[in-house]
Structure 1
Amino acid sequence: GKAGANLQNLAQVDPPLWFMEGMAEYLSIGPEHPLTASWLRDAAVTGNVPTIAQMTERPDKYFPYRYGESLWQYIGERWGDAAVGEILQNATTLGVARAFQRQLGLTLHELSDDWREAVLAKYLPQAATLDRPRSFAQPLLTPKKSGGEIFLAPALSNDGSLIAFLSNGNAKRGELFIDLWLADARTGKRIKRLVESTVNPSFEELRLLYSQSSFSNDGKSLAFTAQREGKDVLYILDVARGRVRKRLDLPLDGVTSPAFSPDDRRIVFSGTRGGLSDLFIVDVDGKNLRQLTNDKYGDLQPSWSPDGTRIAFASDRGPGTNLANLKLAKWTVSIIDAQTSAIQTLPAQGGLNLNPVWSPDGRQVAFISDRTGIPNVFLFDFADSQHYQITNVLGGVSAITEYSPALSWARGADKLAFTYYERGDYTVWMVENPRSRKQAAFVPGATRDFAAGYIRPDTTLRRLDSLTLRPRAGAPTSVYRGPSGARQSSVVPSTESSGNTAASVAALNADPDFALPDTSRFREAAYKVRLHPDYISSPSIGYTPNYGTASGGTAFVFSDLLGNHQLAVSANIYGRLSDASVFVGYANLSRRLQYTTGISQDPVYVPATQSSQQFSGFTRFSSSYVRYVIRSAFLSGQYPINRFTRFETALQFNAIGQSVVSLVTDCNNSFCADTRQVDGESRPSINYLTPSTAFVSDNTLFGNTGPVVGRRMRFQAAHTLGKLSYSDLLADYRRYDPIIFNTLTLATRVLTSQSIGRDEGFFPKYIGRPDFVRGYDRANFNPYDCTSAFGETPTCNNAELVGSRVVVANAELRFPIIRRFDVGSSFGLPPVDGLIFGDAGLAWSKGLKPFLTRPENYDSETQRYPLTSYGAGLRVNLFNLAILRWDYAVPQQHARKPNWTFSLGASF
């Protein structure tokens, strides 16, 4: 069959995250993963091992990578790894639940119970032999002491008085993202936020998974890395002032884990170029960049020795690595001479070894190792070349990934800080004089492997006696047809029963030569853009007998495989092609400079006159309309400067055809004939070209019905030439300040749009819209009465709302009323937000004089002043399809009565 076909079918089944992500972890990492074991051990001890149903419903609470991997590990050890593939295959046609039942003979509920029992049986006995950090360390950064929820990448100052770390802050103040903070290393109390990330274009993202900051030895500067404009940048921060002292834009693809030299003149870091990571040294002023290592091995997390002559780092170099067949050994700690670049790998390392830090006297190196099946702190003593286990914790000395830095040693104070995982949280603990915990040298194999499987076989492929694995009484069973006949799917044959036994995941991962494709036989082909339909709307067809016209419409969206090329086509036809609404647009997103082009046609009918004429025996009723057919062709482009800011430019040509259309109905005393359409005179077309450019910035975060934090701005200039001539300037600035994050937000906006030139009044602006100044529209007048039709002077009693130049100011205090109301199923009532608002707007045109307040002896023919209103409103998120808006507005001018306004659209 076609390669990948089953994956396409599986995508239609929509399996839960634990199914796919957990399987990916298990197949790629194998059955023994200390990081996953730490999570499951913690869940077992704290009574939080989830059921499969909970994993399915709450992947945000039960991390699908860790718990899903553990479940697949259990299945692989109990039924054999071939069962994993069989379940994947069956799920594409049977669905997830039936696939498990067919292959394992168990329902998901029964499998869930068995797996949870195995987790408890495996991990609970281990707890009695392991230590909690409180028995030998002091909590330093915890939610109770420091606020926030997560604490990562600790970095102690040399004297041990300060600690820099990555963490979120107070959720009520909107400090939701992982930022760089400074705290007192004695009390754990936060001092200040050093760097705000995610919404700051200079610090788009802090490298929280793989990097760690570093204090200078005098404690005045802090080196860290962050992403700016899509590239890693090395920053040196003034700690006292909280300002960037130096920004180093280095010619590298990635920069992580900077560390000051003992004399504070240089910084060593791990840099990535062409997909390979090496060690680099650069002066603090950005000069003299020097590459220390230059090979195909990975080099991470460098740390200077106290005398500045050596650098410890983590690397996958060593006897277990064979790059010829892509076999990579576990990472080990190595030492490099800062002058000669000679490298020495520490002896007798087992497991994964990372994050080395030097002792104050330079005689030892501490690092994190999971050689016992649990990430712990180990110490290597150069005097006797022995390893010593410093901690033996229940959870794990680790952060989000096993490669995340989690260790820091204050040389001047002899304090060791480490990140610890417990109860689903990452906290930071402090050990005074960590070398005092040095006991007997570590002997490989003398301790148990705490990451070992649920069912320990004698060999990689051997399983326990299948009789102990029979399905429970009364449970449905399934059979598996193999080379030697049929067997129950829960019965796994021994390795002696067949010479054709499938290899295990562990064996395949350990043997990179197995089934490796011959890359020399790969056939390369240039990528070709082929558009395929992404979306097709339901077509509509209708007929109006009174007017004798048929109507219909549909829309299509196409894109290529990468989503770089998109084509949209829509059409709605009303009787004849001249009354059709048509749009064709193409977008090219393949490069940083993105562009869109297209054409469109839209008919617009504006009421003109109504009349009736008496004839012999009948009366003719006639309604006249001015029909405008707007045909446009456009080309627009945008160039992002960073994640939040971009430049836009556009060129649009418009041709507006004009004609008069009448709808005529003849009636006698008892009968009216069908209404017919009569075309009248045509007017000359209005053709014009409008080039424009804009600067746009937006770092807002949205809640249920609108932004809740951040700011947005747009500054635009456009000029129209051709039959029309005028310029248009727009400035739109909006802020969203959380008083209590996602609970009470103050939203403000100031907007001005001004047309200047000969034909500035041709397209007048109207401030009575429900998203500008509320309270002056509903039940007062019809909007089209005050918006002149393409150049004609407006005539209405509220001309103060119309002009070629407008200024609008709005303020809203927003708060939730209903977050979500569940009604006993996955269906829930939509969220509802409330608000209190105040609006002000001023519209005027050339020849009118604007005032900030109503002048004495006000003359509406020559003067204008702001109109204001206040009120309250509701916003309803209609299942993410539309935002419903109800506003009760109290106008302050013209003695208008309070009124309700209903509209659709997001809040400003």
Structure 2
Amino acid sequence: MNKRYPFCIKLPFVLWLLAAALLFAPQAKAQYFGQNKVRYKKLDFKIYKTPHFEIYYYIKNDSMMKRFAQESELWYTLHQQVFRDTFSKPNPIILYANHPEFQQTTAIDGEISVGTGGITEGLKNRVVMPVMETNQTTRHVLGHELVHAFQYHMLLGRDSSNFENIGNIPLWMVEGMAEYLSIGKKDAYTAMWIRDAYLNHDIPTVEALTNGNKYFPYRYGEAFWSFLGSTYGDTVIVPFFKNTARFGLQYGIRRTFGYDDKTLSRLWKNSIENTYKAYLKDTVQKPVGLKVIDDKIGGDMTVAPSVSPDGKYISFLSSKNLFSIDLYLSDARTGRIITRLTSKTANSHVDEFNFIESAGAWSPDSKKFAYSVFAKGRNRMLVVSVPDGKVLNDISMGKAEQFSNLTWSPDGKNVAFQALSEGQSDLYMYNFDTKKVTQLTNDKYSDYQPMFSRDGKKIVFSTDRATYDQVLSQEITFNLAEVDIATGAITNINVFNHANNLNPLYSADGTQIYFLSNRDGFRNMYRYTIASGKVEQMTDLFTGICGITEFSPALSISANDDVVYSYYRSQKYTVYNAKASEFTPVVVDGGKTDFTVAMLPPTRAVGVDLINSNLNNYLAYPKLSTDSIHCVGYKPKFKLDALASNGVGAQIGTYGTGLSSGIMGVFSDILGRNQIYASASVNGEVYDFGAQGVYINQEGRWNWGFGLSHIPYQFGNYNVTPTTIQVDGKPVNVIDEHTDIIRIFQDAVQGFMQYPISKQLRYEIGASAARNSFRIDRYSNYFEPRTDADGNTYYVPIQFRKHKISREQYRDETGYDYRPFSVYTVGTSLTGDDSYFGIAAPLGGYRFKIGADYNFGTYKYYSPNIDLRGYVRTKPVTFAARLYGTGRFGDNNNNLYPLSVGYPWLVRGFDLYSLNSSSTSTTSLWNSNQLSGQRIAVANFEIRLPFTGPEKLAALPSKFLFSDLNLFFDAGLAWNSGDKITLFKTQPEVLSTSTVTDPNTGEPVTLYNLSRVPSLSVGLSLRVNLFGALILEPFYAFPINRKDVKKPVFGFNFTPGW
């Protein structure tokens, strides 16, 4: 009797590392595919210390930085009165000079979008934000993010709540509170959204706010908090927030207000209806002109419309293709899209369009269009020809690293724009002939949305120079002004003081200025006559003319007085085109404003009005003395960010006592430039302890790091053999039923460097050294054979023994020689990724990786690899293709475990275990040898249909099931050096035969030397995205050249779509 039963590989530590991979997710993403966060320059940070903050900055503008530090303390004073909480130690604020540099931050992992104003993270409670394009927006973002800092501090501090309680709080509560506490009850922009909800009978309930994504949490959340503060007093805010964190939203409402969410929803709805019904009947609601671009033409988001000087074209930015913002050209009269002028796909060097609060500019002859993009760590100006979209110029604006809202001079020689430099917003001008940038204004005030006069001698713009530091309120409003280009003299236009007067444009004859204002709480278009000072109201809309934000351009005028504007209705932006003569102007008093309608419902506040009182007296609070602001050198403050455990367990069994425990930790400095990811685990005996750690340095353009690891792998064999042992000094013949546990210990060190060439392209090099050693432990149960009275044999256990056996003994017994070996590897690769992901797989763009490794040590070989992937989106499907190949070339590589195409992530329908592995039978020439070799090549093609999921993308809308339906064709080939390959055969050829003797039976056996043919399959699969945690792909595959199966092969794949 001598039986061997190898059992399944047991890899407890490897399974633990799969969990640890979640911790390493930001780095793991970049190791194979994924786009890059490029740091184009090294920033020299310093620290401003105030009583409650440490402000990390590098901006060379001391006066601006001191104002920022003072405002941080002002916001602390205001928020502290609401939260009744204090910071026990200074809270970090990391401030960037502009948004392009903010997008490169290492403090926050992952991509930062153009629309992100700031981020407050919970691990270190860091506020990370850029200086915004206006003083008002910077003040607001700072106040907003510091609300989040107080929220985290309250939930993670001395309170009984903890980090897990944050999950109980819906997003509208978190973001809405931050908006309400930093803006207050007076908000004409949010009031416009709520009027729109009232007009469309679409006022959301608490449940709809919480469970859907239809209602923007910032705007509707702010309005709901304002309702609560006005109805119950601002003292209810913190108790409601805490109760929700502790008990969930439903119990939080009952505990705070004494009734359920439905009652609270009805009260809010009644408040809105009672507020706005008096205004609706007297308001002209129909927009003037032709509706030229709506959601059917331009998609859900159509912004920044700009009419050409000749009035023939309208350019606009749109999310029409769902996955990116692109620039389109349409007919100004019909709205028909003529062409897509440009896109990120067509211009891979463009990271993103500057679309939130910016519009482009037409050349005077209507043949060129200029616009601002994010590229190479800054804003750049692209000039394209119309209508073919050919890029004519790609221009950097010197020290103006962030700029927007371009305007082209009438002579075509200059482009003016607003820009940020060292945290200061000013007007600049670029000359196409001299290629020089000239600064037109230079002061602490924000200058915004410039436009050249028709004679090119002046520029009209919006500015806060009449209100900044002049009023007590936290709100910094915008007036109009003109600057004389030749002299630099600035003239303020005294109209609608303390309202936001934006988007100024000269009329065709240059005698009048059109602009948008919220002077009466609504958002309408007005006209100012320069000579007389007369002000006329051109529209009277219940909602308003607006873009994505209050500061987004929404108005454009041609040289023929064609007025193009963006009308907000039903949560959508619709573009209208009208002649100036079509409007019915009404003369209004330019010195009168009334913001009653700008107050969020209800109009009257009951109870303690703490927040609005404080905001209205923002500058009445004493400013922090500059003597209390201290500048110190940067210190990294390297510390533990997060620690996680999978628990501790113990067990006692046949094979002894074992422990099971694991821990993961993340360490970093305050800026996130230096990071350590570490994990450790023990699963079984002390030999099963494993650990790994990775250090990553992201300080400069090069990312580099190194890792150390000790990882145990474990598998085993079960055997039954006769043997003789000593019992009480006497030899006894026994049956040895034993289990051999083989442990592989891999001790490795690796180093890596990565140079991101652009957001889409990077170069990587790496080296590693690994030593693999073995330990074999035998667990023996000895049974003595005995005979009963009837002559039957039975076995009695007489002894159990655990002992370590040597490599030599195991080799002699089994023929397997577990000799220690070392592997040293150096490698390099070039990786590109300009794809966009859909529900469960990429749906557009491309990916590639081309690289090579050299392995030496015990085994020496070269291993080139290539992976090319392309995706062509043709609604509603995507055509996807992949070519992949790798191999081993060199000495003794045949001693290594072969490569295989028999995995479902390569070729579906050819599972290794479903095939006949014997090459001694002619009943099926197709066997597992066809799938394995030292070289492999794979080709895949899929037609991908977003099947269930978001309504705008999937064939079947679903809020719960997110999936892709795929038709696929897979082909894979594996071979060794010297093998004959027949690509166009469905079955392998018999090249030669040989006869050997079976050692077990003594019978002759015929062996067949076969050619190599591709493994081909077609089929259908469904990739299901399980809440972002796992992608599961069940599939039916039809193996084309397998003769051993008559039905489709069903299987599962657990990897995201390639």
| TM surpasses 0.5 | yes
Cα deviation for residue 706 of structure 1 reads: 3.0
Match of residue 616 from structure 2: 509
Match of residue 901 from structure 1: 1051
Contact 1:81 1:505 in 2 (8 A): no
Correspondence list, 1:593-604, <5 A: 593-604=702-713
Correspondence list, 1:195-214, <5 A: 195-197=342-344, 201-214=348-361
Cα deviation for residue 49 of structure 1 reads: 1.2
Match of residue 160 from structure 1: 311
Cα deviation for residue 331 of structure 1 reads: 0.8
Confirm or deny that 1:442 pairs with 2:592. no
Cα deviation for residue 187 of structure 1 reads: 0.5
Quick one: distance in 2 between partners of 1:453 and 1:875? 45
Quick one: distance in 2 between partners of 1:304 and 1:695? 46
1:293 to 441, 453, 460: 441
Farther-moved stretch of structure 1 (687-696 vs 531-540):
531-540
Match of residue 516 from structure 2: 368
Match of residue 569 from structure 1: 679
Q: Deviations over 1:715-743 (max 9, x none)?
A: 122112333322211111123334444xx
Q: Does the residue aligned with 1:287 lie in a helix, a strand or coil?
A: coil
Cα deviation for residue 574 of structure 1 reads: 3.4
Correspondence list, 1:374-385, <5 A: 374-385=522-533
Cα deviation for residue 535 of structure 1 reads: 2.2
Q: Does the residue aligned with 1:74 lie in a helix, a strand or coil?
A: helix
Change (3 A) 1:664 1:875: farther
Contact 1:322 1:328 in 2 (8 A): no
1:18 to 167, 172, 183: 172
Change (3 A) 1:456 1:872: closer
Match of residue 504 from structure 2: 356
Farther-moved stretch of structure 1 (98-107 vs 302-311):
98-107
Match of residue 114 from structure 2: none
Cα deviation for residue 863 of structure 1 reads: 4.6
- TM-score normalised to structure 2 length: 0.73
Confirm or deny that 1:888 pairs with 2:1036. yes
1:141 to 289, 293, 303: 293
1:735 to 845, 850, 870: 870
Match of residue 132 from structure 1: 285
Q: Does the residue aligned with 2:193 lie in a helix, a strand or coil?
A: helix
Q: Does the residue aligned with 2:544 lie in a helix, a strand or coil?
A: coil
Contact 1:77 1:455 in 2 (8 A): yes
Q: Does the residue aligned with 1:896 lie in a helix, a strand or coil?
A: coil
Contact 2:479 2:495 in 1 (8 A): no
Confirm or deny that 1:528 pairs with 2:658. no
Contact 1:727 1:760 in 2 (8 A): no
Quick one: distance in 1 between partners of 2:711 and 2:977? 30
Q: Does the residue aligned with 1:537 lie in a helix, a strand or coil?
A: strand
Q: Deviations over 1:837-884 (max 9, x none)?
A: 222111122233444334866467585332222333344444544333
Aligned residues with identical type, % of pairs = 28
Change (3 A) 1:904 1:72: closer
Farther-moved stretch of structure 1 (839-848 vs 884-893):
884-893
Match of residue 496 from structure 1: none
1:122 to 267, 271, 275: 275
Correspondence list, 1:398-797, <5 A: 398-411=546-559, 413-434=560-581, 437-445=584-592, 449-452=596-599, 454=601, 492=607, 505-514=612-621, 516-518=623-625, 520-521=627-628, 526-545=635-654, 547-548=655-656, 550-560=658-668, 565-577=675-687, 579-589=688-698, 592-604=701-713, 612-613=721-722, 617-620=733-736, 628-658=744-774, 664-667=780-783, 668=785, 669-672=794-797, 673-674=799-800, 676-681=802-807, 685-741=820-876, 744-763=877-896, 764-781=898-915
Match of residue 808 from structure 1: 938
Match of residue 409 from structure 2: 261
Opposite residue 896 of structure 1, the aligned amino acid is: D
2:969 to 832, 835, 838: 838
Cα deviation for residue 16 of structure 1 reads: 2.1
Confirm or deny that 1:219 pairs with 2:366. yes
Opposite residue 679 of structure 1, the aligned amino acid is: I
Match of residue 186 from structure 2: 32
Quick one: distance in 2 between partners of 1:228 and 1:843? 42
Cα deviation for residue 254 of structure 1 reads: 0.4
Change (3 A) 1:397 1:204: same
Cα deviation for residue 281 of structure 1 reads: 1.0
Q: Deviations over 1:453-490 (max 9, x none)?
A: 54556xxxxx67xxxxxxxxxxxxxxxxxxxxxxxxxx
Cα deviation for residue 887 of structure 1 reads: 3.3
RMSD, aligned CA = 3.5
Cα deviation for residue 679 of structure 1 reads: 1.5
Q: Does the residue aligned with 1:835 lie in a helix, a strand or coil?
A: strand
- TM-score normalised to structure 1 length: 0.85
Contact 1:377 1:391 in 2 (8 A): yes
Q: Does the residue aligned with 1:670 lie in a helix, a strand or coil?
A: strand
Opposite residue 765 of structure 1, the aligned amino acid is: L
Contact 2:495 2:590 in 1 (8 A): no
Change (3 A) 1:213 1:880: closer
Correspondence list, 1:51-200, <5 A: 51-58=205-212, 60-84=213-237, 87-88=240-241, 107-134=260-287, 136-144=288-296, 146-169=297-320, 174-197=321-344
Contact 1:807 1:841 in 2 (8 A): yes
Match of residue 489 from structure 1: none
Contact 1:755 1:804 in 2 (8 A): yes
1:240 to 375, 381, 387: 387
Quick one: distance in 1 between partners of 2:471 and 2:977? 77
Quick one: distance in 1 between partners of 2:192 and 2:947? 41
Opposite residue 839 of structure 1, the aligned amino acid is: D
Quick one: distance in 2 between partners of 1:542 and 1:907? 40
Quick one: distance in 1 between partners of 2:241 and 2:659? 48
Cα deviation for residue 695 of structure 1 reads: 1.8
Q: Does the residue aligned with 1:44 lie in a helix, a strand or coil?
A: helix
Quick one: distance in 2 between partners of 1:93 and 1:623? 52
Opposite residue 529 of structure 1, the aligned amino acid is: F
Change (3 A) 1:76 1:336: same
Match of residue 342 from structure 1: 489
Farther-moved stretch of structure 1 (27-36 vs 833-842):
833-842
Q: Does the residue aligned with 1:111 lie in a helix, a strand or coil?
A: helix
Opposite residue 654 of structure 1, the aligned amino acid is: A
Change (3 A) 1:659 1:66: closer
Cα deviation for residue 635 of structure 1 reads: 1.9
Q: Does the residue aligned with 2:647 lie in a helix, a strand or coil?
A: coil
Opposite residue 884 of structure 2, the aligned amino acid is: L
Match of residue 473 from structure 1: none
Change (3 A) 1:586 1:315: same
Opposite residue 690 of structure 1, the aligned amino acid is: T
Q: Does the residue aligned with 1:512 lie in a helix, a strand or coil?
A: helix
Contact 1:816 1:832 in 2 (8 A): yes
Contact 2:501 2:517 in 1 (8 A): yes
Q: Deviations over 1:233-259 (max 9, x none)?
A: 111012232121110122322010112
Quick one: distance in 2 between partners of 1:127 and 1:567? 59
Farther-moved stretch of structure 1 (687-696 vs 33-42):
687-696
Gap runs ≥5 in structure 1: 458-462, 465-491, 493-500, 787-795, 822-826
Cα deviation for residue 753 of structure 1 reads: 0.6
Quick one: distance in 1 between partners of 2:965 and 2:759? 31
Farther-moved stretch of structure 1 (275-284 vs 653-662):
653-662
Correspondence list, 1:856-867, <5 A: 858=991, 861=1009, 863-867=1011-1015
Farther-moved stretch of structure 1 (646-655 vs 402-411):
646-655
Quick one: distance in 2 between partners of 1:576 and 1:76? 59
